[in-house]
Structure 1
Amino acid sequence: MEFISGMRYSLLFLGLGMGLLSACSQKTSEERMFHPQKVDSSIPTHINEISRALDQRDPQPEWYVKRAKLYLSLNQATPALKDLTKATALDPSLGEAYFYKAKILLQGQQYQETMRMMMQAKAFNYYSPESEAILTETYVGLKQYERALGHGLKAIKLSPSEAKHYVLLAQAQVGTGDTTRALVNLQRALVRDSVSLPAFRELSAIYTARKLYDYAYPLVQQGVRKQPQDGFWWQQLGQYFLSRNQTDTALATFSRAINLNPKQAQAYAGLGEAWYKKRQYSTALPLLEKARELGLPMTEHNRWILASCLEWTGQKEAARQQYVFLTRKYPQNRRYSVALQRVTRPVPQRTIIDTLSGISVF
């Protein structure tokens, strides 16, 4: 009996021990679960580890590429480009380094240099599906739209779920004048990403060009809300207000666009048109000329406003040249020929009668 009683106590203590052990184990598990910050695996930590390795040993070019990619994940392009340059100096045949250099240069819209880096990457047998997207965007930036089309189609074939690739193909199609297919591809982009700001951007530009301002407006509102420091959205918003004859609001909106992006030709043109609508021709004219200097496409509408401002500021000969162009290209529009006659017609001279001979001081 004593033996059995002892066994019971032993089993009881053993059960209590196992319970305590399980509780401790559970507590340790819970601590690990709710305190992940105890294990530091952040990107800055990885960068520091690679930096220490580069300082202590013979630097390997691949390490510089790895650190550059970590910098890029933090949107730190300057140190990334520096590392990639070191990598190609140590190993000029490192194709991956040229590829990532191209990505950085593309962000800065350095299209010629981007293309050169992509050719280097190809020469050293580096290729990824993203290469086609980079080439598409580069050719669009260089306005070589036919070439961009081919690479855009390849990018979609390789990554059909990527919304950005449909936007890039649409940009190339807009460049060739095929806005119908561009609209289809932008809708495909939105199927894959319903809040794609690049898709909203292209759609709003197409709708605005077609004067479908009510279609463009909700897209522009999203852009202004999510990217308030991007002058493009304010310029598009200004076009909407201008179409509604809310001229003072348009003036403020276009001015905001120019403050954010002083090289935006369309914003200067919009601001000039707003002053033109207020009959402030001498204020409008330098803004329109600035827009031309920045590369504004001289559409029929833009040329008419410029010609009108030239005429009403007294620059009749310059206005006449613009009216001649409009009359020849658009002979069906009578207002151009009427304006041409107006600035060409000689100004009647007033007859001055000399009355001195009929007056005597004596």
Structure 2
Amino acid sequence: MKSFALLTTVSLISLSTLATVRPVMALESRQPAETRIAQGNNQDAIGHYNRGIDYIQQEKYDLALAEFTKAININPRYAEAYLNRGFLYEQQEKPDLALSDYNQAININPRLAEAYNNRGFLYAEQGKPDLALSDFNQALNINPRLALAYSNRGLLYRQQEKPDLALAEFNKALNINPRFAEAYYNRGTLYYEQGKADLALSDYNQAININPREAQAYANRGVLYYSRQETEKAIGDFRQAAELYRRQGNAAAYEKVMEILRELGAV
């Protein structure tokens, strides 16, 4: 029987105020009306920012990026706009632009925990674990309730083969936010690697119940089902993951899952 590796569990940067999507969006909430009034001359900048948030919700990322840029052009001190534009640059695989925007957000507002979290994730992707850990620690020093930073720090510990520390971080994230789908599938992957398939399956199921659009949870649950020789269930999950990845424009992950389906003779 063939074996398949679990897809890498990436906690991009989830939305902090919208649904937990692939990380990686530590997006700030839309600016409330009272803030608009208080900001006075910055009302136009806030309007563009809010439209950017709307476009993010609609998955119109190019339009969102344009709106955040307009907000920054009007108010070059708009830290949250830099944060969200940096996230979008990261999604476009433009790490230098993303890093520049995260640095700018932190320079403007050194207490913006989400900016440290996002920069830490970027450093982790670049193979700079010490810088990543420092940023995750700083994010949590500023906001000890930032569940995403615990989950990201857990991923870092997992990559460093420190499973006990990783598990503790995922548990902290879930204690803070029991609806954090990404933390469930991250913990599920850790359980799977430890040979605790029942616990892993429970966590994957929970992740999918919370967020039925979480492609990675379907993909990893498919791997688990296949390891149990439950091939039809595995194929169903791989197909669902592939369709979600296709809709999300994640070509690399889509091709990886389609390769598995082809090996199974399911396409």
Deviation, structure 1 residue 285: 2.9
Query: Partners of 1:102 and 1:138 in 2: how far apart?
Result: 11
Decide whether the 8 Å contact of 1:265 with 1:294 is kept in 2.
yes
Decide whether the 8 Å contact of 2:150 with 2:170 is kept in 1.
yes
Decide whether the 8 Å contact of 1:109 with 1:141 is kept in 2.
no
Q: Does 1:189 find its partner at 2:139?
A: yes
Q: Which residue of 1 aligns with 2:70?
A: 120
Q: Which residue of 2 aligns with 1:203?
A: 153
Decide whether the 8 Å contact of 2:145 with 2:176 is kept in 1.
no
Deviation, structure 1 residue 254: 0.9
Matched residue type, 2:119: L
Query: Partners of 1:182 and 1:168 in 2: how far apart?
Result: 9
Q: Which residue of 2 aligns with 1:157?
A: 107
Query: Partners of 1:211 and 1:248 in 2: how far apart?
Result: 21
Structure 2 counterpart SS, 1:143: coil
**Runs of 5+ in structure 1 lacking a partner?**
1-67, 74-79, 84-92, 319-362
Deviation, structure 1 residue 189: 2.0
Which residue of 137, 148, 170 corresponds with 2:120? 170
Question: TM-score, normalised on structure 1?
Answer: 0.53
Correspondences of 1:1-362 after superposition (within 5 Å) = 69-71=31-33, 94-106=44-56, 110-123=60-73, 125-130=74-79, 131-295=81-245, 315=265
Deviation, structure 1 residue 199: 1.2
Deviation, structure 1 residue 177: 4.2
Q: 1:310-341: CA deviations, max 9, x gaps?
A: 66x5x49x9xxxxxxxxxxxxxxxxxxxxxxx
Query: Partners of 2:120 and 2:59 in 1: how far apart?
Result: 19
Matched residue type, 1:265: A
Query: Partners of 1:203 and 1:258 in 2: how far apart?
Result: 22
Q: 1:15-71: CA deviations, max 9, x gaps?
A: xxxxxxxxxxxxxxxxxxxxxxxxxxxxxxxxxxxxxxxxxxxxxxxxxxxxx9545
- Aligned CA distance change for structure 1 residues 203 and 69 (closer, same or farther; 3 Å): closer
Max Rg structure: 1
Query: Partners of 2:34 and 2:152 in 1: how far apart?
Result: 26
- Aligned CA distance change for structure 1 residues 293 and 207 (closer, same or farther; 3 Å): farther
Decide whether the 8 Å contact of 1:204 with 1:217 is kept in 2.
yes
Deviation, structure 1 residue 148: 0.4
Decide whether the 8 Å contact of 2:191 with 2:200 is kept in 1.
yes
Query: Partners of 2:235 and 2:160 in 1: how far apart?
Result: 25
- Aligned CA distance change for structure 1 residues 272 and 96 (closer, same or farther; 3 Å): closer
**Runs of 5+ in structure 2 lacking a partner?**
1-29, 38-42
Structure 2 counterpart SS, 1:294: helix
Query: Partners of 1:108 and 1:206 in 2: how far apart?
Result: 30
Query: Partners of 1:122 and 1:162 in 2: how far apart?
Result: 17
Query: Partners of 2:77 and 2:229 in 1: how far apart?
Result: 56
Runs (4 or more) in structure 1 with deviation over 6 Å come to none
What is the RMSD computed on CA atoms of the aligned residues? 3.5
Deviation, structure 1 residue 273: 1.8
Decide whether the 8 Å contact of 2:147 with 2:174 is kept in 1.
no
**Percent identical residues:** 19
- Paired residues in the alignment total 227
Between Structure 1 and Structure 2, the one with more helix by share is: 1
Decide whether the 8 Å contact of 1:205 with 1:216 is kept in 2.
yes
Query: Partners of 1:72 and 1:112 in 2: how far apart?
Result: 28
